[in-house]
Amino acid sequence: ENPYALPGAKIEVTADHFRLFTDDAFLKRLMDDKRNAEPLSSIICFLSWGCLDLTDFYQKVIKTGINDAEFEQIPTWFKVLGPFVAIEDSLQEERINFLFTACLHILDKFKKYPKFTRGLITQVFDVYEKNPMVKQWMDANRAAWTWVEKWLDMRGYRIPGLNAGKTMTPGTSSATYFRQTPSASASMKHNNQ
């Protein structure tokens, strides 16, 4: 049974009503009001769970929404993206691969716009911190986003999670980014003594 189904009596949805939730223009209008993001996310997760066609449709809508967003709208789109990539079904890897590859392309495309780029990087790494599958994908595809670290460093930006443990590598002028872990902290203390 679909884990996103609401408890209680089932209701019948007409084809016309269902069509609204597969109309990208309607969905984009809903997303213009950030208050709609979380309820819409629940509906999208319910409809996408185990369904390749709707997963494909919604991941394209989310990608286009992020691409077309102004910088202040990015967090609203990630209120949908985060739960969408967290759906634990056979399509989860597809969602993560599609959307995070798309986010990296969008970042590259708009990197000359600092507010947009910083906002998107912040949201990507917020999901990275919260979702182990996304973290695994991002870590495995690190070569695709190493330029992001340089972009941030050149502008003096700090993103929680990405460079919480930024340090200068001894004997070099390059910055190293890593997640602070007990073993990393102990290693740094040992190296600094």
Per-residue pLDDT reduced to its tens digit, 15-29? 998 899 999 999 999
* Closest-CA residue to 123 (of 69, 60, 168, 55): 69
pLDDT digit string (tens) for 122-165? Answer: 999 999 999 999 999 999 999 998 888 888 888 888 776 565 44
Contact 39, 83 (CB under 8 A): no
Task: List all residues 6 or more positions away from 108 whose beta carbon is below 8 Å from its beta carbon.
Answer: 147
First to last CA, the chain: 57
* Closest-CA residue to 117 (of 148, 138, 143): 148
What is the pTM for the complete model shown? Answer: 0.81
Place of tokens 């392309």: 105
Beta bridge partners of 24: none
pLDDT digit string (tens) for 56-98? Answer: 999 999 999 999 999 999 999 999 999 999 999 999 999 999 9
What does the domain layout of the chain look like in residue ranges? 15-145
pLDDT band at 11 (very low <50, low <70, confident <90, very high): confident
Domain 15-145 has CATH 1.10.10: no
